[in-house]
Structure 1
Amino acid sequence: MKLDRRVLLRGAVAGGGLAALQGLMPAWAQTGSPGLRADLPTLSGPNIDLTVGQTPFTVNGRTATATTINGVLPAPVLRLREGQNVRLAVTNQLDEDTSIHWHGILLPFQMDGVPGISFPGIRPRETFVYEFPVKQSGTFWYHSHSGLQEALGHYGPIVIDPAGVDPVAYDREHVLVLSDWSFMHPHEILSKLKKSPGYFNQQRTTLAGLISGEDRMSLEERRMWGQMRMDPRDILDVNGSTYTYLINGHGPQENWTGLFRPGERVRLRIINASAMSIFNIRIPGLPMTVVQADGENVRPVETDEFQISVAETYDVIVQPTEDRAYTIVSEAIDRSGMGRATLAPRLGMTAEVPALREVPNLTMKDMGMGDMGGMGGMDHGAMGAQPGTAMAGMDHGAMTGAPGAAMAGMDHGAMAPQAPAGTMSGMDHGSMAGMNMRDPENAPPDMAVGVGVDAIAMAPANRMGERPTGLQDVPHRVLVYTDLVSLQPNKDQRPPSRTMEIHLTGNMERFMWGFDGRKFSELVEPIRFERNERVRVTLVNDTMMAHPIHLHGHFFELVTGGPAGHQPLKHTVNVAPGGKVTFDLTADAPGDWAFHCHLLMHMHAGMFNVVTVRPMDGAAS
């Protein structure tokens, strides 16, 4: 195992000597300390030792206890090479079980690190050895799959160099680990969400905002949202009201800095290792060329901003030519806060930090009404209950694309305008009090429409080509999923032999989440695939929250409508509110694999299942 000087100093703290050792280190080398520091500590070689323990962590002048690996937050970079074998001995110094999942890594399922699914977990004071061949290259990460440890700092980056020539040319690289930190324990955060899902949302629309116009909503729109008991600002369950957004373990005031020489091609390996935060990433004044998504090379595409959901990774190339600093901005999608770092030719330089942009409002599309066209901007004043009209009490499931009909008592799923919510001014929503987005008739036959389902998308739209939340109107280029094209041809280009639809469901008022209306605790049936089966899967988001869905042990190909045979490969995909995502999966990894929303609290509250691929090697199905 190759260890640099910082790791020799910092890795020794696992036994509790952190306080003594930190006094010996310069400020830039201290985890969570103010100021600047060099690149993250790195471990490499065929044998790597990792120790999970507890370490004091300081940000913004406050100190708490973090769950760390080798005493640092984030954990050390694991630098591996395609084609090698790696043996990772993980020792647990906690008073509870722990685990490590190697996110995005293709390996035998027994090494995947999910307690109760692929192994028992690692008990206190015990060591578990993960061993597997490294069969890929790219940017990945690792984290706990035990309890809520991930929210306490148990995560780190993985960089795997290709066996041959890297198709991405660069002169220098920096790993950027994005995360969120709260001094409130994650169990307390979850408890508060269970009691009041809007507990952390301090950006709700207000009477003052209505009068001033600051909320950008009309009285009619406000009335509509109120009658549906929905919040147009319910974008992130947990946000900047409690989180400090970190980049490489540093808060915005501490300003982690990565160096460059003007003219260099700098590769930024960006990993969203947060528990609950989706970010919009930009570097004002510096375009970014996306070259990799989730560790898989893509055809280079230049952009000015992109959204990175929880557990996704993006590699970008930047080429600053001026002798000046640039600010790296990771802004929470609800605009409640931001992470900030700096690219600069020399330490100590800073650039202007942009102000937070205005809070976005959700729209009818986010309610799952995006494909019901033909109704945008219509006068809904005639939509009040009018007994005796031809359509009173009609079955409105068949109303898609039928504007102009009398709509007394309708289920207003068919009311979706194609324009943003701001175009809905002047609508008479008085008749919407009876709106029923939870009508079981709108659910597929295999959905459990019980207390865990408070909405069913009436017309979910494929939103992979749309600009994501809050970026619809920015005056610069924004990356969308349909921009991604695999650099290499897809290995399996067989047409799918069958299709499958999975609904992402929830009850936001009770903070319940699941697949097809069922929580994992309800002993749901696993999702079954035959080995090497080719299946087209559609994820339908019946909720008004984005869900980053992750499948362990596999990559799937997003069906984007792009060049044939070059569908982008992903291990995690963000399914927009009221949207749907379709991917093609070759189930080529036998075993039992976790499949879940990567918003930690959503997974913990039930949006989790097991994908089982059979037969195993030499075994019957």
Structure 2
Amino acid sequence: MSSPERSRAGLRELLATFHDRGSRVVRFVAIGAALGIGAAGIGVAVPSSSAPSQVAVEEAGLPKAASELPASGPAQAEAQPVRTSQAEQDLGDGTTLAAWEMKDGVKEFHLNVAPMQWQTKPGGRTFDAMAINGHIPAPTIRVNEGDKVRFVVKNDMPQDTSIHWHGMVLPNDQDGVPGLTQAPIEPGQTYTYEWKAVSTGTHWYHSHMHGDQEGRGLYGSLEIVPALGDIPADRDYRIIIGDGPLGFVFNGKSFPGTTQLRGNVGERIRIRLIGTGPEMIHSIHLHGGYFEVVAQDGHRKPIPERMDTLNVGVGQTYDLIWVPVRPGKWMIHCHIFSHSETPNGMEGMVTIANIEPATVKLPSIPGVTG
């Protein structure tokens, strides 16, 4: 009998012995060894060679179910249909999700830049503002890592403009700096940007013509979802901080016009802070506990930092995770008081996190909770 034949015969005899003894654990180890699955954690030496072929598995006498497992492990989830478009959506924080259509494998966005009249709070003064697709902030652009994207920008303002994709790694001629990488987009003109999304995380886009345009509303969140999975959260909000001609605003609004953020005790609430300026640093403070800073400028932190107040400079982005432990209406505001309070009460950079009790009641423990 040849050496391979003796090996196969020995393995069959070993499996038969394990089967007769009814030892499930040992049978699992033996099957794992035949498939090349490491078992060092339970003290069994397994050859370092690759998994055997289908013929080898069948010849060893293994159960058919094991021989039919795909190389990658458990059965994969059913393939999801490929989306060809996305409609504009309300994100529940005072911002909207941008619409797009798939054209020849490219996600195409249409961004119309135009002047508009804007109130930052009920009954407040009306400002000469600038908006993209009628929104301040501009619609949130969210795509997946590796997506090819196209932005058709139409300038319906009486002055030149351009759009810069802040934090993106892209071809130099798509960077959006007028007079350097492109000619300005003149009134009535359309300009097309096209690049591939490779810079993951929370970023932003904005006019690069001058700070006045940015301060009047030409900015929005730019979010690239990593291919290997995003930061886990139950809710996903953004607070875009502005201090230009519209005053001190969160998402284009001043308190009490800001949109309340909703959540429940125990949820992981993600808050994306984006400092658009165009001039100042803001000290953002959360009432009701601490948050964890899990990413800065789109890059995850190796070790999250716990705090309750964070300085956000112009151009910076931070991702926070907050797990509320008490229900109530908790303030989120700039702790530079001239930016958030007056002798008449709160205004400016203030919003409220409206936290409800947990949706799943925890069991009581006699003598401890009951």
Post-superposition shift, 1:77? 0.4
Structure 1: stretches of 5+ with no match in the other structure: 8-36, 184-243, 347-621
Is residue 239 of structure 2 the alignment partner of residue 176 of structure 1? yes
Q: Deviations over 1:394-430 (max 9, x none)?
A: xxxxxxxxxxxxxxxxxxxxxxxxxxxxxxxxxxxxx
CA distance 1:56–1:295, shift in 2 (3 Å): same
Q: What is the number of residues matched between the two proteins?
A: 254
Corresponding residue number in structure 1 for 2:314: 310
Q: Percent identity?
A: 33
**118, 122, 138: which one pairs with 1:75?**
138
Corresponding residue number in structure 1 for 2:350: 340
Post-superposition shift, 1:108? 0.6
Greater per-residue strand proportion: 2
Letter in 1 for 2:255: P
Letter in 2 for 1:343: A
Post-superposition shift, 1:321? 2.3
What SS does the aligned partner of 1:150 have? helix
Corresponding residue number in structure 2 for 1:143: 206
Corresponding residue number in structure 2 for 1:328: 332
Kindly report which structure 2 residues correspond to 1:75-114, keeping only aligned pairs within 5 A, or say none. 75-114=138-177
Conserved 8 A contact 2:282-2:312: yes
Corresponding residue number in structure 2 for 1:259: 262
Partners in 2 of 1:153 and 1:128 — Cα distance? Answer: 19
Partners in 1 of 2:180 and 2:352 — Cα distance? Answer: 41
Letter in 2 for 1:340: V
Partners in 2 of 1:182 and 1:138 — Cα distance? Answer: 29
Partners in 2 of 1:296 and 1:79 — Cα distance? Answer: 16
Q: Deviations over 1:165-194 (max 9, x none)?
A: 23x3211110111112436xxxxxxxxxxx
Partners in 2 of 1:144 and 1:245 — Cα distance? Answer: 19
Post-superposition shift, 1:5? 5.4
Is residue 52 of structure 2 the alignment partner of residue 49 of structure 1? no
Conserved 8 A contact 2:108-2:150: yes
Post-superposition shift, 1:44? 5.0
CA distance 1:39–1:253, shift in 2 (3 Å): closer
Is residue 290 of structure 2 the alignment partner of residue 287 of structure 1? yes
What SS does the aligned partner of 1:251 have? coil
CA distance 1:91–1:258, shift in 2 (3 Å): same
Partners in 2 of 1:181 and 1:341 — Cα distance? Answer: 18
Conserved 8 A contact 1:39-1:258: no
- What TM-score does the superposition give when structure 2 sets the normalisation length? 0.66
Letter in 1 for 2:130: T
Letter in 2 for 1:2: Q
Conserved 8 A contact 1:44-1:79: no
Corresponding residue number in structure 2 for 1:609: none
Post-superposition shift, 1:141? 0.5
What SS does the aligned partner of 2:214 have? helix
- After TM superposition, what 4+ stretches of structure 1 lie above 6 angstroms from structure 2? none
Post-superposition shift, 1:6? 5.6
Corresponding residue number in structure 2 for 1:4: 88
Is residue 120 of structure 2 the alignment partner of residue 59 of structure 1? yes
Post-superposition shift, 1:38? 4.9
Partners in 1 of 2:311 and 2:90 — Cα distance? Answer: 32
Conserved 8 A contact 1:286-1:326: no
- What TM-score does the superposition give when structure 1 sets the normalisation length? 0.40
Conserved 8 A contact 2:94-2:251: no
Corresponding residue number in structure 1 for 2:223: 159
Partners in 2 of 1:3 and 1:246 — Cα distance? Answer: 27
Larger Rg: 2
Conserved 8 A contact 1:98-1:121: yes
